Structure 1
Amino acid sequence: MGYSEKKYGEDNQWAGFVDGQNVIGRGREILLQGFNWESHKYQWWPSLEQKIPQISKAGFTSVWLPPAFDSLAPQGYLPRNIYSLNSEYGSEYQLKSLLKTMQNNNVRAMADIVINHRVGSTQGAGGLYNRYDGMALPWDERAVTRCTGGHGNWSTGDNFHGVPNIDHTQDFVRNDLKNWLQWLRKSVGFQDFRFDFAKGFAAKFVKEYIEAAGPMFSVGEYWDSCNYSPPSYHLDYNQDSHRQRIIDWIDSTGGLCAAFDFTTKGILQEAVKGEWWRLRDSQGKPAGVLGWWPSRAVTFIENHDTGSTQGHWPFPSNHIMEGYAYILTHPGIPKVFYDHFFDWGSSIQDQIIKLMQIRRSQDLHSRSSIKILEASAHVYAAMIGEKVCMKVGEGSWCPWGREWKLATSGHRYAVWHK
């Protein structure tokens, strides 16, 4: 059970090309989520632009930006006129200034692609706001799925309740969206894509959109619940079926899109409580998506939904550096959350930067080899890429041999290299 990396390319390069361009990254990305749930309140584009030189110097290769278009909700996740780049985060001019500064500092801009649902402008069939009169992309009820009040076909995924869901089976909808995505890439200046609520429409459409627009890197938010068993509903040790669902989604994109590794997040935030054995599966591999398809696994410990002021599924706050010590040394594509990097104090920021420096200097990447050396109640230890060792947890552990040098350490974690 599980996925073989060999199906989609060899060595350390991702496979997948559109018009000769590699569309799913280089395997050495380190991502920053450049916002939280409240960022729209703070003139975000100019504020973030001031931080771009610092972000670049730290070693981030790509910054995930919040939805940059007109939206009913200030956070951007109820889009209306998606060709309007004036949002609660700032004006079109401010956005383009930010993107130019990012380009000048060799930091890629990741667009948040919200195309599962769209708020209408006009009441149509059934008295619902399921028409888009007067907007760019002036769709009618045919663009809305039948199960959310439109005249389109049934949804190919889960419904996002309360607003019209887009029917991606319609040729005119897909053509319009492909033109829009190409505009974001070629005219606006975004290079990477993050697909919001990827459970809401079939992954084959994500493949089609990526092939049309050719982003350098793409990641999908395929988030469903981990496996819990009654009566206590404590997290199951075996999360194979959970990660298999994410693997299947990635596979249905033709391997062109990565996915956030929600399996690893769920396991890791239980492991830090003194259950480090959870991080080694029954085959001796990492227990999340990164254990089966690491080059398509975007690892993270928090985002604007799970943490921030929403707090839907928060990582234990007194263990975040153990979490970062894990994801920044392991295979996969690690993502750092804005709040942790900028709002939790200089000590946390310095520790994250040091771990990133080790990742780069020792050339750890999405497909680095890993050997788990210990996974017990109190300590987890692993060797990554033959020249880095790390441990997390309250238990004592260090690598054997004089060739190992302590590279960094903090509360309940340490990293060594040769």
Structure 2
Amino acid sequence: MKKHIFKYPFICLLSVASIIGCSSDDDAPVDPDDDNGVEQPEPVSALNLEEYDNGSRVMMQAFYWDVKPRFEWWNTISDKMETWADAGVNRIWIPPATKGQSGGYSMGYDLSDYFDFGNFNQHGTTPTRFGTRDELENMISVAHDNDIEVIADIILNHNSGGGLEYNPYREKDTYSLFDETHGNASGMFNRNYEDFYPNSVSNYDPGSLFYAETNLDHHRERVQNWLWKDENSVAKYYKNVIGFDGWRFDYVLGFEPFVIKEWLDAVGGFSVSELWDGDPDLIRSHIEATGSGAFDFAAFYRMEQAFDRNEDLTYLTRDQVWQTHPDKAVTFTANHDTEKDGNIDNYIESENKLKAYAFIMTHPGYPTVFYLDYENPEFQDQINKLISIHNSLATGSVNVIYADEDEYIMQRGGDSENPGLILYINLSPNGKRRTITTSWDSSILMDYSENSNYRPQVNENGEVTIEAPSNSYAIWSITE
């Protein structure tokens, strides 16, 4: 089995580490009661993680595809806000909050009226699938009362649900007429074929895969004014009137980076872009061009390869956005698209979800928790533990101590006030133990994920034997 040692010099100065032993390579089961020939120490006390607050938090994706019950979603998540805040969530990402062509069945991505938040009767309904405007504003107020920011999902390229009109630039009728009687009952940002590609001043088209005939032309001054420049623009109305705190930009491959840069220059706020591509360099280029954060699809696909497709943990060491842009990389294990029925190519299997969460909660980046994962009673307790670990001990330089197909061991170096942690993932059907060199000395360790009851002692040289249960993980740090 090929072995690797990896370090990420671009994340901070790293501690020196080496592989000391390969005691578990024979795949013999590890007996959790076996003391490995070392006398076990007396019972010890765990660190009070609240005293090691590193300032980090996590984001909740507060929806899934086709949420139920219809018309009650804003009320549903309002009731969960206090629980999420107590768990360590500081932002929620909600679905597009305005009326879509599918009316009461729309998830908002077939956007029709940028200013109908469930207060105009069109497309067969007044409320959106998620509720009324009053319920939306109440939900945002509840979130703010719990120190949680609300992130709006923004669709800036494709529109849907307009009326038919003759389009001379396509020489046919197109659904490009948006006014008070054609999919834009608010009467704000009325549109016609001149606002979409191609038109009388622009033939440019970034090649949108969605609704090509109603792909907004962001080079037109009128479109820019309505989207982010004017006082009643989408950006300023959402921030100053509705109360949104930040932005999730949908399908950014459908328009140019300057759009996001100018949007953020106009209104600021947290932002994350959906650039669905596993190429980390492409995502980094987008971050540099826009100033926005981005979902780390490179990390998502490395986890999918490591845990599912190839069952090889060395994939966890491959190039990911968080390695170079930890403050801009938004990491995740699932979202509303990856969890759709029948999605087999972009999906982390349920039995591997917690290992994936252990990875993103212990590494740099801003982790996102998917609603259905958190609401899964088999996951929630452990996800809460992982959030607590992320918000406390997951700090400092990254040092991958050991990686092979079955095992992955990484240490966060901490700092003078924080001991950091060690993550040990094991894909083997048997428990594993490995002797490593750490940055600690003469300490008793415990697994803060509580997957192991083992209490190893670090010697004066920083050497210690740690373990990970079969097909699971452990997160080690010092004790009181």
| TM-score, normalised via structure 1 length | 0.83
**Structure 1 residues 82-91 or 403-412, which shifts more?**
403-412
C-alpha deviation, 1:153, in angstroms: 3.3
Asked if residue 112 in structure 1 is aligned to residue 141 in structure 2, the reply is no
What is the distance in 1 between the residues matched to 2:342 and 2:256?
27
Match of 1:38 among 63, 66, 75: 66
C-alpha deviation, 1:120, in angstroms: 4.7
- Matched residue, 1:197: 251
Asked if residue 171 in structure 1 is aligned to residue 221 in structure 2, the reply is yes
Cα distance change, pair 5–127 in 1 and its aligned pair in 2 (3 A): farther
Cα distance change, pair 57–258 in 1 and its aligned pair in 2 (3 A): same
- Matched residue, 2:463: none
Asked if residue 53 in structure 1 is aligned to residue 105 in structure 2, the reply is no
What is the distance in 2 between the residues matched to 1:36 and 1:337?
8
One-letter amino acid of the counterpart of residue 303, structure 2: L
One-letter amino acid of the counterpart of residue 250, structure 1: I
Cα distance change, pair 5–209 in 1 and its aligned pair in 2 (3 A): farther
- Matched residue, 2:276: 223
Contact map agreement 2:160 2:211 (CA 8 A) in 1: no
Cα distance change, pair 339–151 in 1 and its aligned pair in 2 (3 A): farther
C-alpha deviation, 1:163, in angstroms: 5.4
- Matched residue, 1:247: 284
Contact map agreement 2:55 2:391 (CA 8 A) in 1: no
What is the distance in 1 between the residues matched to 2:62 and 2:213?
26
Match of 1:212 among 250, 266, 289: 266
Give the structure with higher Rg (CA). Answer: 2
Cα distance change, pair 348–163 in 1 and its aligned pair in 2 (3 A): farther
One-letter amino acid of the counterpart of residue 130, structure 1: S
C-alpha deviation, 1:29, in angstroms: 3.7
Contact map agreement 1:27 1:295 (CA 8 A) in 2: no
What is the distance in 1 between the residues matched to 2:203 and 2:266?
23
Contact map agreement 1:379 1:394 (CA 8 A) in 2: yes
The Cα offsets for residues 139-182 of structure 1, whole Å up to 9 and x where unpaired, read as 22121112xx8974322354324651111111110110012111
- Matched residue, 1:18: none
User: Which has the larger share of helix?
Assistant: 1
- Point out where structure 2 has 5 or more consecutive residues left out of the alignment: 1-7, 13-53, 119-127, 415-419, 452-470
Identity of aligned residues (%): 27
Asked if residue 264 in structure 1 is aligned to residue 299 in structure 2, the reply is yes
One-letter amino acid of the counterpart of residue 298, structure 2: T
Residues 1-400 of structure 1 mapped to structure 2, 5 A cutoff: 28-39=56-67, 41-42=69-70, 43-73=72-102, 74-86=106-118, 87-124=128-165, 125=167, 126-134=172-180, 135=184, 136-146=188-198, 152-156=202-206, 158-161=208-211, 164-178=214-228, 179-215=233-269, 217-224=270-277, 226=278, 242-253=279-290, 256-273=291-308, 274-281=311-318, 287-309=319-341, 311=343, 313-342=346-375, 344-345=376-377, 347-362=378-393, 364=394, 368-386=396-414, 387-395=420-428, 396-397=432-433, 400=437
The Cα offsets for residues 253-277 of structure 1, whole Å up to 9 and x where unpaired, read as 0xx2111011111111110143001
Contact map agreement 1:144 1:152 (CA 8 A) in 2: no
SS state at 1:83 partner? coil
What is the distance in 2 between the residues matched to 1:80 and 1:168?
17
Contact map agreement 1:144 1:151 (CA 8 A) in 2: no
SS state at 1:212 partner? helix
SS state at 1:408 partner? coil
What is the distance in 1 between the residues matched to 2:73 and 2:382?
25
Contact map agreement 1:278 1:375 (CA 8 A) in 2: no
One-letter amino acid of the counterpart of residue 156, structure 1: P
C-alpha deviation, 1:79, in angstroms: 0.7
Cα distance change, pair 151–84 in 1 and its aligned pair in 2 (3 A): farther
SS state at 1:318 partner? helix
What is the distance in 2 between the residues matched to 1:79 and 1:310?
24
C-alpha deviation, 1:340, in angstroms: 0.3
Cα distance change, pair 266–171 in 1 and its aligned pair in 2 (3 A): same
What is the distance in 1 between the residues matched to 2:212 and 2:203?
18
The Cα offsets for residues 361-397 of structure 1, whole Å up to 9 and x where unpaired, read as 22x36xx420111110001110113321101123524
- Point out where structure 1 has 5 or more consecutive residues left out of the alignment: 7-25, 227-241, 282-286
One-letter amino acid of the counterpart of residue 351, structure 1: Q
Contact map agreement 1:264 1:289 (CA 8 A) in 2: yes
The Cα offsets for residues 9-39 of structure 1, whole Å up to 9 and x where unpaired, read as xxxxxxxxxxxxxxxxx98241110000021
C-alpha deviation, 1:292, in angstroms: 2.1
- Matched residue, 1:417: 477
What is the distance in 1 between the residues matched to 2:342 and 2:242?
30
What is the distance in 1 between the residues matched to 2:98 and 2:304?
33
C-alpha deviation, 1:122, in angstroms: 2.1
What is the distance in 1 between the residues matched to 2:405 and 2:226?
53
- Matched residue, 1:231: none
SS state at 2:76 partner? helix
* Root mean square deviation of aligned Cα: 2.3
Flag the structure with more relative contact order, 1 or 2, with Cα contacts below 8 A and sequence separation at least 6.
2
Cα distance change, pair 275–150 in 1 and its aligned pair in 2 (3 A): farther
